[in-house]
């Protein structure tokens, strides 16, 4: 499975958009990009996923570059409750090992 | 639906003791996973089961055994606990044939080995 690289931490002002980058330069054609978040001490929560097209749901938007080597998770109007660790993972379409990296610790500040 | 249920939620062991962490899901999912998370760290995959009757090693399998008892249940056993196994353990499941990366996690089991 492809590995991902994320910045260890980011800050964002409340009400502003939070843009969280992820590098997955070794991704293969049959691997999806998934995003999760983990609020302190809770189990991780699924946010969104995509293959090559941009995706949007009620929680966030996912922008995947045309070469698929990187992606950005966008929280359009961050709130204090969005403070969490955000994980980007790459998953084969047949499943198997799901490897989480270190993630990005997002702090939303008033 | 309860989703993914883990028991126990808290456990304290002495070095050398054994115990089993239980995990059950009621979503008819095919795949199940065990992760551990140490303080300030990301999740590390211990073992996973892609389908009933199969198990495979993850990133950190040493010191653990697993059993996929049936489609619903996936247990994690520590035969001889060590202080290095002090951690929070998360069980997860996924449908396994589509949206294979959408995992549903339990609330975690907090294990301390003295």
- pLDDT tens digits along A54-86: 999 999 999 999 999 999 999 999 999 999 999
How confident is the model at residue A32, as a pLDDT?
A: 92
* pLDDT at A49 > cutoff 90: yes
Residues A46 and A37: their CA atoms lie apart, in Å, by: 7
pLDDT value at residue B99: 65
Contact check, Cβ <8 Å, A87/B103? no
pLDDT at residue B98, rounded to an integer: 63
Q: Which of A41-45, A73-77, A94-98, A104-108 has the lowest mean pLDDT?
A: A94-98
User: pLDDT tens string for chain B (114 positions)?
Assistant: 689 999 999 999 999 999 999 999 999 999 999 999 998 888 999 999 988 889 999 999 999 999 998 999 999 999 999 999 999 999 999 987 666 789 999 999 999 999
Task: Assign A1 a pLDDT band (cuts: 50, 70, 90).
Answer: low
- Judged by a CB distance cut-off of 8 A, whether residue B88 touches chain A is yes
In three-state form (DSSP H/G/I as H, E/B as E, the rest C), the secondary structure along chain A is: CCCCECCCEEEEECCCCEEEEEECCCCCCCEEEEEEEECCCCCCEEEEEECCCCEECCCCEEEECCCCCEEEEEECCCCHHHCEEEEEEEEECCCCCCCCCCCEEEEEEC
pLDDT range class, residue A3, cuts 50, 70, 90: confident
More confident residue, A80 or A102: A80
Let me know how long chain B is. 114
* Contact check, Cβ <8 Å, B48/A102: no
pLDDT tens column, A4-36: 999 999 999 999 999 999 999 999 888 999 999
d(CA B114, CA B98): 42
Contacts of B4 in chain A (CB under 8 A): 43
Degrees, nearest 5: CA angle A48-B33-B16:
140
Cβ atoms of residues B73 and B24 within 8 Å: yes
A-chain CB neighbours of B101 within 8 Å are 32, 34, 49, 89, 91, 95, 98
The answer to whether the Cβ–Cβ distance between A101 and B33 falls below 8 Å is no
The predicted structure's pLDDT at residue B8: 97
| B109 interaction partners in chain A (CB closer than 8 Å) | none
């Amino acid at each position: 499975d492809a590995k991902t690289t994320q910045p260890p931490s980011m800050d964002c002002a409340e009400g502003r958009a939070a843009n969280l980058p992820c590098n997955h330069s070794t991704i293969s054609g049959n691997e999806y990009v998934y995003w999760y978040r983990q609020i302190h001490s809770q189990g991780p929560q699924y946010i969104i996923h995509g293959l090559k097209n941009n995706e949007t749901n009620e929680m966030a938007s996912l922008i995947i570059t045309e070469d698929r080597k990187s992606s950005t998770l966008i929280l359009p109007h961050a709130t204090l409750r969005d403070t969490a660790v955000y994980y980007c993972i790459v998953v084969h379409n047949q499943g198997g090992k799901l490897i989480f990296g270190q993630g990005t610790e997002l702090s939303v500040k008033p | 639906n309860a989703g993914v249920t883990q028991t126990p939620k808290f456990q304290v062991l002495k070095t050398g003791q054994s115990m089993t962490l239980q995990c059950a899901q009621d979503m008819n999912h095919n795949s199940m996973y065990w992760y551990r998370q140490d303080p300030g760290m990301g999740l590390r995959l211990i073992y996973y089961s892609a389908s009933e009757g199969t198990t495979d090693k993850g990133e950190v399998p040493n010191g653990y055994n697993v059993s996929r008892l049936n489609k619903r249940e996936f247990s994690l056993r520590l035969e001889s606990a060590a202080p290095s196994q002090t951690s929070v353990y998360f069980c997860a499941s996924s449908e396994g044939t589509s949206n294979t990366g959408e995992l549903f996690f339990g609330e975690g089991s907090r294990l301390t080995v003295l």
